Structure 1
């Protein structure tokens, strides 16, 4: 029996899809929504190798795309151990109606889920109570009671809002890049991840390098990478280390400028005296008198010699 998956036309009008996703992102997202492994409940088992084979991508590209959809778009979760993928807003578009065939299918598929914590994330977006209750029976005892689960859902939503506010105040390196430089490619995500690894996962360091690039009107990754290489070669691992080095550098510059200033400073009175001495040396009256006497003696000697020659 053929399986069908719905993709609403509003998919192409979603602000996240329009403004935040690259063409590669859109292609990957459509694959996650419609590939043969998908289920009625939005949680299904699939390996990275299978994704790479289906899409014709390398494993590196698949890892980068999964990372992007988990950390940046926040649309999926993936369990590396069970190889299960959950599409978090699946229920919003696919679980709004329920009849006996749908509930039977949901119950059957829920029993096959290994990581039940993935169900909790999907439950937050299920509008239909019958489907929601079917989900609640398959999660931990803490969530078995529907009202408790609904209350927990609200609490988690509040926590998510708080986290979002925090993240807006302190964006990740990926978010800062996209806000100030442009869309990220898979290759660039890999490079930023590599630098984050070198700096112990410290996003602040990479963001600081990006900020410097923006301030100097050098909005390109090559310039930012050169800054990161310099910091790494100097053993700087945190923003605190970088700021400390910057302060030390400014002190050295200030000290050097002070020394130069002191060396070049000459009192005005001394400068005036030196100028007067030069003028005096040039227009000394005694020197002029001696010069006139010498010229007169030379003329007299010349006339005497001429007189002897004519005799």
Structure 2
């Protein structure tokens, strides 16, 4: 809930641009928010909901982290914390409220975010509950503000407890890079290829979204559109965008502009291991050859047919 005092806040009224206010209201009211002011959300989800590019979301996140100092974000756990959430929302205690807060705090992975939000909570009972979830050494930890220079959500935490986990992730990334080099030899000569790949994915999302909106699939059917976009990252297609657009084109041709119909097509192709548009076209050409109507070369006489073996005798009957 956003109180009317929101607009009286000097930071909001004097320092924020109209875009900042819109973004801040989104952070406070989107469907992922919780009772504790800490919740999971990806930057891709923010970009989709707001209609922004991922680059714009990165810029806003950095502005709110470094300039306004109103949020903290851990891209490793995909958790965001609103600094003044407790100050603005957590005024009443009681068993139901405390039970809800306790339950949601148990789900938080980055415990430093709990301490961050607890600092502005004025009700001692609730603040004590927050602090009970913090590690003893958390007060001495230095939490680095999120760097927003990368397009992806990579984040190296200063907490040495997770050092081993970070090493494992680095090894996995290196393994993926080696696989990419084997698949695309030019990747080694292009240090910015990962960033370019993320930019291409953003363009793919936009292109599919525009096709959906412009071809009668339902402009307001946002949930269905989101489910379809999952196929960009969660499918085995080598050309996910092109394959999705082809499936949507087929749906339009058959006047079946529904999510289930499009997904049914995609699942059939995936089950047949058809991973590119070329493979799909080739498969359907072989499965459904165009029927050719052969013209008969036989000629049929006009009138009664003469029986086979009949001999015509022109002299018969003259005697």
TM-score with structure 1 setting the length: 0.44
Structure of larger gyration radius: 1
TM-score with structure 2 setting the length: 0.43
